[in-house]
Amino acid sequence: MFKKQTKVWLVLTIVLSLLALASACNKKEGEANKNEGATTGKTYISKGDEGSVSGTIAFNGTAPAPKKIDTSADPVCGQKNPNLSTEDTVVSNGKLANAFVYIKDGTLADGTKIGEYTFTTPPDAVTLDQNGCHYRPHVLGIQTNQKLKITNSDPTQHNIHPTPKNNPEWNQTQPNGAPPIEKTFARAEVLVPVKCNQHPWMKAYIGVLKHPFFAVSGDDGSFTIKGVPPGSYTVAAWHEGGAQGTEKINQVKLAANGSAKVDFAFGEAASATARRGLEMMPALHVSMLGRD
Ligand SMILES: [Cu+2]
């Protein structure tokens, strides 16, 4: 009787152990499959047939005049930069500076969606300088995981505080004379606002993308995105005007070794211009789909 009971227990124990082992093996296999699934995407390799996308950002209507900033909270700022003014809408001769223009979506000539490619991270850092108690540049682009080097060229202390939605938020004090701060952004985000906890008027915007196809419009409103593979793309221009900024969208087709033109317009009369543009512009040159 005693012997029979022991046998039953022994068999039960063996069966249960085997079941547990099988379950563990299945789990491991499942995890391995999941990891395999995560490594999608092929690295883009230049074919030597890349071209450029360029254009101009217009500002229609009356641009708000820059306002002088009251820097009395930190006398050092006033000493170094007595004429510090707002930079939210910088317009000269009807052209808008500091618009962030980028390839938002599209398909390369080889039929691959741009989002399916991985683009090599540039080894050089992008610099954001604090100089005269404002950020230089005011708008910048960077690739995911590319180094952002923050420098303090002022004889006063700053506190850099990006407020991203898709990346971790942080803030860090940088006293005068302190070494540069180096940071990266792991995820794409257009755009990450940056403020200074020391000087409430200080603002910058960082466009983070997985690819290098972006540019910022200069004082003459012009921009050029270089090294773009041939394909059909949605190009977006973002400007900080409005609560969350304003984004305009256009379509562009780029031939091998080509140079495509695409213009954008912001300001009060921008929508009307965009509609006129649709009727007048040749389709391949640019089709205007002004949004907002
Ligand atoms: Cu500051």
Q: Calculate how far, in angstroms, residue 152's C-alpha sits from the geometric centre of ligand 1.
A: 9
Q: Calculate how far, in angstroms, residue 155's C-alpha sits from the geometric centre of ligand 1.
A: 11
For the segment 25-53, what is each residue's pLDDT rounded down to a tens digit? Answer: 444 433 333 333 334 579 999 999 999 99
Q: What is the mean pLDDT of the chain?
A: 85
- 289 pLDDT above the threshold of 60: no
Q: Calculate how far, in angstroms, residue 158's C-alpha sits from the geometric centre of ligand 1.
A: 4
For the segment 229-239, what is each residue's pLDDT rounded down to a tens digit? Answer: 999 999 999 99
Average of pLDDT values for 69-88?
Answer: 95
Average of pLDDT values for 221-228?
Answer: 98
Residue 159 DSSP SS3: strand
Nearest-angstrom CA–CA distance, 189 and 206: 8
Q: Calculate how far, in angstroms, residue 72's C-alpha sits from the geometric centre of ligand 1.
A: 13
Q: Calculate how far, in angstroms, residue 125's C-alpha sits from the geometric centre of ligand 1.
A: 21
pLDDT confidence tier of residue 4, bands split at 50, 70 and 90: low
Q: How far is CA 82 from CA 129, 203, 274, in A?
A: 18, 18, 39
Average of pLDDT values for 183-193?
Answer: 97
